Structure formats: C-alpha cells, structure tokens
Amino acid sequence: MATLLALLLLLVPVMGDYTPRSDGFPNDEDIPATFSANRVVGSVYPQGADAPGQQFVDTIARVPLLSLNSDPSAGDVGFGSGLQRGIQTGVLNGDFSMPPPSLDEAISESNPLPYWTFGPVSDGLITASLVASSSYGSGYYLALRFAAGAAYTDVLTQDIPVPASQGQQWRALLSFYGGFTNSLGIQYQYIDRSGALIGSEVTAYTAGTGDTKVDAGLVPTNAHSLRISLGYYAGSVGGGTTITFGEVRAAFLPAEATVGLGSLSATTGGITTTETQVKGITIPANTLVVGSVYKIEAWATMTSTAANVVTMRMRLGPTTLTGTVVDSINPTATTTASTDSFKVEALLTVRSVGATGTVTGGVSMFGGASQPFAVATRIDQLSSTVTIDTTVANILEFTAQTAAGTTTVTFRQAVITCLMAS
C-alpha cells in the first residue's frame, strides 16, 4: 500500500502538466492525460479555463468548431459560431469572422486566412488583410490593396462542395458585398471529383458600394465543387487602390426555385422624352441557361395632358440603353391622367446559348382604377426570337420613354426575378 501511494505521489507533478492555462488559447498543457502530447488537426481539448466543454478547435483561428458546452454564457453551444455561419451562408469564413494567426500582419501562406487559399500573388504588389470595423457583424472586412503596376487577379480562393445529383438539378446563386466604390469581383468555376475543371472560368464584378448577386446557372451533374475567387477583375489598377469585401455567400437552390436578382430601391423620378433605365441587372458571361425565364414587374404612375405615346422596352445586351430590344409596348396616354397608376410585366425566355444564342419575350401593361391609357389592358407578345451573344456579360433592363414632355411616368417599384430553368 505504501508503495502504491508513493507511486501516485510521484505522478502528481506529471498530472499537473495538463492543468489548463488561462492564456486564451488551447495548448499542450490543456491536453488531458488520456491524449497523446502530439497535436493533430482537430485536436480535442478538455474542459478548462481555455476550453469550456470538450470541443474541436480550428488550429489556425483558435475558435471552437464543435462544443459540448450547453451554457450560452460560457461560449459557443453545439457548433461553433464560425462553423454555424458557414452552414448558414454556404461559405466557410465568408464573413471573415475567423482571423489569421497574426491580425496585425498581411494575409500570406505563413499567415493564412482560415478556409481560404492565398495567391497567386508573389510580386508583393497586392496585399490582403482584415480590418476591424463595428459596421460588420463579424467585426472585420477584407481589404485588398494594390500597388502601382499590379495587374488584376484573384487573391483568395475557396472550393465549395455542391449538391451532386443525376435526378435533381440545382442552380447556384453567389452574393458578395463591397464596402467601397472600387470595382471588385468574383470568379467561379465548377470542378469534378478528380479536380478537373468543368467549362471556363466566369467573372462577375461590380463598381460601387452594395450587394451583388450572381446567378451561376445550373450546377453540372458531374460537378463536385464550385471554386470561387475574390479579387479585382475590371482591368489594371493604379497605385494605392483599395477594394473591400464585407462578406461572400453561396446558395444552392432547386432549379425550379424563384431567384430574386434585383429591385428598385428608390423611385425613378419623372421620366419623359429621354429613354431611361427603370431597373437592370448584369448577367455574367456564359451563365444564361436554356429554359431560364426572367421576369420583370414594375409599378408606376403617369401624369399627362396630351395623347402621347409611352414606350417601354425590355433590352438585353452588353451596354445599357443600347442592347437588343427583346420586346416593347407603346400605349397612348390619355389627356387627363393625374398620377394614375399602372403595372407592366415582361418575360424573357432563353431558347439557345452561345455567340448566336436566342431569346424571346413579351410585355404586358395593365391600367389602374383611374385608367391612364387609352386602352385598359394591352398585351404585346413577341412571336419570333432575337439573337444574343451569351458568351459575354449582358445587361437585362427595362426602360421607359415618352413622346413629349406633357406626359411623365414615375416608377415606384420594380423587381427582376429568374423563375426557372428547364
């Protein structure tokens, strides 16, 4: 008995080596005696000051991925918050809530941003870092800084698993938020199980502050992952240029789901003799899919003292207000309209894709209780197709124009949706 007691006393210092330290991070001294001292990715840490509740901890960001903790006041419950956001938004660390090991240093191969691959930027002309900001729920936004001579390129890349099915088709919707008025963009390309690329890389970019939604089309039935890259894609940049990403998201929806692509956030103001865009969206190159149906709905009021024609067009082409007119409608205003309301609907269906792709469409107009036009309802259905190059980016837009200044239309609401893909 005495011998056994002596042996236990000898072990006390050893057991003390595994007492959790309150330094804020799991470490070797947090590893329980039942575990090897050799750290591995996804190490399980015991209950202690650094790790309340047994949990899996990300080895870069030092945040819990999985926790058995059930007390919300003590930290993450169940899934760690970073992993939960990845499940919710489709992109791991898409809100940049998990920082690199050294927040004060630029992101690099030795200072990685969790779940993102950095590069290929080896010339030192492009740097990426997280910037603390209370304007974002994660507490950070991603800043990409370009020195003089830097070429446009992708900077951060992530491969996202996609639904793989021979029976159910899916469509991908990517979204990203930019916080400054510089051009920024996202590239994407599908990859099969072996790592081979499917099709060509597609680029979508925007200039301006706000959220941009990109319809990435139908997921190929042999796709295993979707590779997304963040960067600057509008062309060469000057020294001192900074672009930012606040967040990146990805959603995979059944092909038959309705996807909202754009809406009117403010009234257009009075539109008269100059053709004016009411609402438009940019459809990236090579993303139009045969069978996809795009719907435009717009609500407006009209004031008129003369019988002038009001022309409303649905255009599709590379530049605004010059794209091919898919269909139009031109009702005649009454001479006594005073902020009288009406609604316009337009449909566009993709018949074929490629450099000589084809689409067809139709436009309808419906007057309100106080009829602003000479006819209560007018429907104009295009009977033939028009040719569109779907290998380039195209702007789908709805425009309005009056024949004389004595007739004014003001659009108060408008929305563009993608209805389905066959």
Residues 325 and 396 in one domain: yes
At residue 399, the pLDDT reads 98
* 342 close to 334: Cβ distance less than 8 angstroms: no
Residues 267 and 410 in one domain: yes
Residues 379 and 406 in one domain: yes
Phi, psi of 143 (to 5 degrees): -115, 125
Q: Which residue has the tokens 């990845």?
A: 86
Q: State the residue range of the domain holding 388.
A: 260-418
At residue 41, the pLDDT reads 44
Q: Which residue has the higher pLDDT, 307 or 211?
A: 307
d(CA 232, CA 244): 10
Asked if pLDDT for residue 291 goes beyond 70, the answer is: yes
Total domains in the chain come to: 3
pLDDT tens for 1-15 read 455 444 333 333 333
Q: Which residue has the higher pLDDT, 248 or 29?
A: 248
d(CA 108, CA 152): 18
pLDDT tens for 375-409 read 878 887 776 899 999 988 899 999 999 999 999 99
pTM to 2 decimals?
Answer: 0.68
Residues 144 and 193 in one domain: yes
Share of the chain above pLDDT 90, in %: 42
d(CA 411, CA 402): 13
| Domain presence at residue 75 | no
Domain boundary among 69, 88, 107: 69
Average pLDDT score over the chain: 80
Residues 237 and 356 in one domain: no
Of 246, 233, 129, 92, nearest to 176 by C-alpha is 246
Residues 35 and 126 in one domain: no
Residues 232 and 269 in one domain: no
Domain boundary among 255, 284, 315: 255
d(CA 160, CA 90): 8
CATH number of the domain residue 294 falls in: 2.60.120
Of 260, 225, 215, 249, nearest to 90 by C-alpha is 249
Asked if pLDDT for residue 35 goes beyond 90, the answer is: no
The answer to which of 6-20, 121-135, 332-346 has the lowest mean pLDDT is 6-20
Q: Residue range 183-190: average pLDDT?
A: 71
Asked if pLDDT for residue 420 goes beyond 70, the answer is: no
Whether residue 52 has a cis bond before it, omega within 30° of 0: no
Q: Which residue has the tokens 């919707």?
A: 173
| Domain presence at residue 109 | no
Q: Residue range 14-38: average pLDDT?
A: 42
Q: Residue range 15-33: average pLDDT?
A: 43
At residue 371, the pLDDT reads 86
Q: Residue range 191-202: average pLDDT?
A: 85
Residues 174 and 235 in one domain: yes
Residues 162 and 250 in one domain: yes
d(CA 289, CA 292): 6
Q: Which residue has the higher pLDDT, 163 or 15?
A: 163
Asked if pLDDT for residue 89 goes beyond 50, the answer is: yes
At residue 407, the pLDDT reads 98
Phi, psi of 94 (to 5 degrees): -75, -15
Q: Residue range 102-124: average pLDDT?
A: 83
Residues 413 and 264 in one domain: yes
At residue 380, the pLDDT reads 79
Residues 251 and 267 in one domain: no
Q: Residue range 79-105: average pLDDT?
A: 91
| Domain presence at residue 78 | no
